[in-house]
Amino acid sequence: MIVPGQKIVVLGLGGSGRAAVRYALRCGAVVRISDLRGKEVFEAEECSFLTETNVRYETGGHTYDFLRWADMVIVSPGIDSAMPLLARIEGEGVTVIGELGLAASNISVPLVAVTGTNGKTTVTTLIGRLLQAAGKNVFVGGNIGTPLLEYVCEPGRVDVVVAEVSSFQLEKCGDFAPDIALLLNITPDHLDRHGNLEEYGRLKMKIFSQLSAGGTPIANGDDPLCRKLLDGEGAVSFFGKGRDCAAVISKDTITVSRGGRVEEYSVAGTSLAGKVGVENSAAAILVAVKLGCSPDSIQRVLCEFISLPHRLEFVAEREGVAFYNDSKATNSGAVIAALAHFKRDVVLIAGGRDKGDDYRLLRQRVGEKVVKVVAIGEAADLLAAALADIVPVVKAGTMEEAVFESARNCAKGTVVLLSPACASFDMFSSYGHRGEEFKRAVLSLTGAQKRVGMEKTG
């Protein structure tokens, strides 16, 4: 808890950092900001916020003297909480905490926390829609759009909080205690920050060790690493194809039992059809059933749900070649899942800023599905080194060049898929910016009217 007069430093002024500053000021604290950006850039980009809050700040990096002044340092998710400076001040008695830990004591309604390498935003959004359709007032936020601390500042009348939770946020999550904890999958990601898959998996598993008394753990029973890490952990509600799963998947159908009654849900013909969509649906259904949503309202939402932008988003078709935007696929696991949607003859556009991923993990699926890889960004050479012996790899300097090269000499029935396996920050401001540039290049190439919406599977 933050008390009046307490000295607070907020590390990193992104969306979460701004919410932390406002929350701390609301509690009567004395607040400072420490940010990596240079002074001119920081003041230009944060001018209105600095005018609004009138807080002191340091720029160009984080210094011991500035942080040592504080009683508490609030670490934004983008800041590596393992940095030696934080360990030093923590050893001297300064409390170091993240957004989740700070919000924890201020959430009094049921809390659903969703984590995993891929699918978090879709599942968090889908759970929110399922609960809203059942007549519940729901806050949906966390790592998706609205920071939890914004809810804490303006809680309103809410029946359930649904939070997307990242591995970064779990590093310093304090007493964060969800009532339902959902783990979707674990594949290599953010290894540039976490060091190795074991540490990344350990952080994801924290969502279960943080469960409230009597809380419900839900996990992907078809994910080998989830199974391994949860072995011996007690009663877990799994979703997947196994007999021990609480939500059993068969093609595009999910079967669950409730109060001795068997319920069957179908996503066939919806934007959630396919391996990834049906897994996401099964996970969300288990949460909805736990929180008392009716079968009719669940099925209605599944039928009406539209896939989120930049996730296997159908863009256009030109002379029998279909273009898909999967810019949100920022790791190898997401690309492997995306390729599973298509039968064969895929031209894959991949690359960007490397996050320590092992692109050799792509080899089997690329060998089965892909006829050419167009590599972009800083990781282009790494992708070529991993894949060039099994599929032709060409490099492109811009998204426009990548789209042109992908479409060149394509046969009818070919799919051009942007699914980068990398972060976007070498060439673009975000995965969304990257996806929009891809769509712009495709629509310019095709001359077609903009056709973006429900995913279409090859």
Q: Which residues pair with 162 in a beta bridge?
A: 112, 140
Separation of alpha carbons 56 and 69, rounded Å: 12
How much is the pLDDT for 445? 86
Burial of 144 from C-beta contacts in 10 A (0-12 / 13-18 / 19+): buried
At the second CATH level, the architecture of 313-446 is: Alpha-Beta Complex (3.90)
User: What is the band of 446 on the pLDDT scale with cuts at 50, 70, 90?
Assistant: low
Separation of alpha carbons 237 and 379, rounded Å: 38
* Mean pLDDT of the region 36-51: 96
CA 322 to chain centre: 26
pLDDT tens-digit series, residues 232-261: 667 899 999 998 999 999 999 999 999 999
Q: Where in the chain is the domain with CATH 3.40.50.720?
A: 7-93
Separation of alpha carbons 51 and 45, rounded Å: 12
Q: Where in the chain is the domain with CATH 3.90.190.20?
A: 313-446
DSSP state letters, 264-295: EEE-TTSTT-SHHHHHHHHHHHHHHHHTT--H
Q: Which residue has the higher pLDDT, 112 or 197?
A: 112
**68 pLDDT above the threshold of 70:** yes
* Mean pLDDT of the region 171-186: 93
Q: Where in the chain is the domain with CATH 3.40.1190.10?
A: 102-304
User: What is the band of 456 on the pLDDT scale with cuts at 50, 70, 90?
Assistant: very low
* Mean pLDDT of the region 51-66: 97
How much is the pLDDT for 450? 41
The DSSP output letter for 358 is -
Burial of 232 from C-beta contacts in 10 A (0-12 / 13-18 / 19+): exposed
pLDDT tens-digit series, residues 278-333: 999 999 999 999 999 999 999 999 999 998 899 999 999 988 999 999 999 999 99
- The residue assigned the tokens 């792509």 is 362
**447 pLDDT above the threshold of 70:** no
CATH number of 102-304: 3.40.1190.10
User: What is the band of 457 on the pLDDT scale with cuts at 50, 70, 90?
Assistant: very low
Q: What percent of the chain has pLDDT over 90?
A: 81
**161 pLDDT above the threshold of 80:** yes
* Mean pLDDT of the region 35-48: 96
pLDDT tens-digit series, residues 202-214: 889 999 988 999 9
How much is the pLDDT for 448? 43
CATH H-level, domain 7-93: superfamily: NAD(P)-binding Rossmann-like Domain (3.40.50.720)
* Mean pLDDT of the region 338-361: 94
**128 pLDDT above the threshold of 90:** yes
* Mean pLDDT of the region 153-176: 90
How much is the pLDDT for 455? 40
Side chain identity at 179, as an amino acid letter? D
User: What is the band of 345 on the pLDDT scale with cuts at 50, 70, 90?
Assistant: very high
Side chain identity at 115, as an amino acid letter? T
How much is the pLDDT for 40? 96
How much is the pLDDT for 424? 97
How many other β-carbons are positioned within 10 Å of the β-carbon of residue 178?
28
Mean pLDDT of the chain: 93
**118 pLDDT above the threshold of 50:** yes
* Mean pLDDT of the region 220-228: 93
Q: Which of 143-152, 190-199, 444-453 has the highest mean pLDDT?
A: 143-152
Question: Residue 13 — φ and ψ, nearest 5°?
Answer: -105, 65
